[in-house]
Structure 1
Amino acid sequence: MDLGGLAQLGMTGAAVLVQAAATDAWQVARSGFVRLFGRGDREREAVAGRRLDALAAEVEQATLAQREEVRQRLLPAWQTRLADLIEDDPATADALQSLRDELLARLPAPQQQWVQNITASAPGATAQGVMFGNIITHPAPATGEGPPR
């Protein structure tokens, strides 16, 4: 898997993890991510378990209306943790992919949806975004007229 694919896997894995909190899929998610982060080391498993329990508690304590906001707030930290895990041990990518796919199948349908909002508000600003894929931007061809205005 290339670097872009590994980064995407880390992002989608984290998204599925935070979406699983406070659902029927949580126990499967928790045990799978404890194994993934622990890599057979009991101490690392214990640390991962505490972090995962804190994630679940935070989502569960939020009202139903606030849960998505809480999940979005928690998502970047888990994306970073998974990116670090994959960087430290690329062999975990296959296990993460299997776990992500299993959890996707277990999540209730509305929680399999993600929304991305991108806004460019400055004059001449450009905003681009992509979810679960690639974005390639090429510079505008040089015209000799200076920077665009």
Structure 2
Amino acid sequence: MDLGWLAQLGTTGALVLVQAAATDVWQLARAGFTRLLGRGDRKGEAVAERRLDALAAEVEQAPPAERDEVRRRLLSAWQTRLVDLIEEDPSAAEALQVLRDELLARLPAPQQQWVQNITASAPHATAQGVTFGNIINHSNLATDPGNRADGDGSLR
């Protein structure tokens, strides 16, 4: 299984889930993710419902100006949970894609936007970020003057 695709699907699914919290789309998201995470097992669905309810409560209890920050904080746990799910049960990937697409189409337009700020402040520092894609770096350490120590040709 392509791990890049798996991570991307887990990320986009988690993004849509946390964005749906505290919106008119939440009940649809909750029902869909309960089925997906529970995989037909009543106990699994009960656990999923508790986790989803906790997610929604945390977002709803935050002041409106802080909700995006709460969503960002909750995102990684849900991304991990969804990636683990489709690693354990690859057939869940298609269901996650369908649910993600349905919810994304129903979310209000402002809920589909994310801002990513990346800062590098140390000498010779590089900061990179990507959402829904790849970063490919090619570095020639032998010709990069920032990687030389005192001009003697040894790499730092």
With normalisation by structure 2, the TM-score equals: 0.90
Q: Specify the alignment match of 1:87 in structure 2.
A: 87
Deviates more, 1:137-146 or 1:75-84: 137-146
**Structure number, greater radius of gyration:** 2
Tell me by how many angstroms 1:119 deviates.
1.1
How far apart, in 2, do the equivalents of 1:140 and 1:117 lie?
A: 27
- CA distance, structure 1, for counterparts of residue 139 and residue 82 of structure 2: 31
Residue type of the alignment partner of 2:105: A
Q: Please state if 1:140 is matched with 2:140.
A: yes
Give 1:142 deviation, angstroms.
2.6
Partner of 1:36: 36
- Secondary structure of 1:66's match? helix
Q: How does 1:33-72 map to 2 (within 5 A)?
A: 33-72=33-72
Q: Secondary structure at the match of 2:134?
A: coil
Q: What secondary structure does 2:51 align onto? A: helix
Report percent identity of matched pairs: 77
Segments of 4+ moved more than 4 angstroms: none
Amino acid at match of 1:89: D
- Ranked by relative contact order (alpha carbons within 8 Å, sequence separation 6 or more), the top structure is 1
- The amino acid across from 1:30 in the alignment is R
Match for 1:123: what amino acid? P
DSSP 3-state at the match of 2:64: coil
Return the alpha-carbon distance in structure 1 between the equivalents of residues 93 and 154 of structure 2: 45
In angstroms, what is the RMSD of aligned CA positions? 1.4
What is the deviation of 1:121? 1.0
Measure, in 2, the Cα distance between the counterparts of 1:51 and 1:84. 15
Superposed CA deviations along residues 81-127 of structure 1, whole A, max 9, x for unmatched, are 11111111111111111111101001000010111111111100111
* Length, aligned pairs only: 148
Task: State the distance in 2 between where 1:83 and 1:5 align.
Answer: 10
Which residue of 1 is the match for residue 127 of structure 2? 127
Which residue type is aligned with residue 127 of structure 1?
A: A
How big is each residue's C-alpha offset from its partner over 1:9-64, in whole Å with a ceiling of 9 and x where there is no partner?
10111011000000011011001100110111110000000000000011111111
State the alpha-carbon separation in 1 of the partners of residues 142 and 104 from structure 2. Answer: 45
Give 1:141 shift.
5.0
Structure 2 stretches lacking a partner, 5+ long: none
Give the TM-score taking structure 1 as reference length.
Answer: 0.94
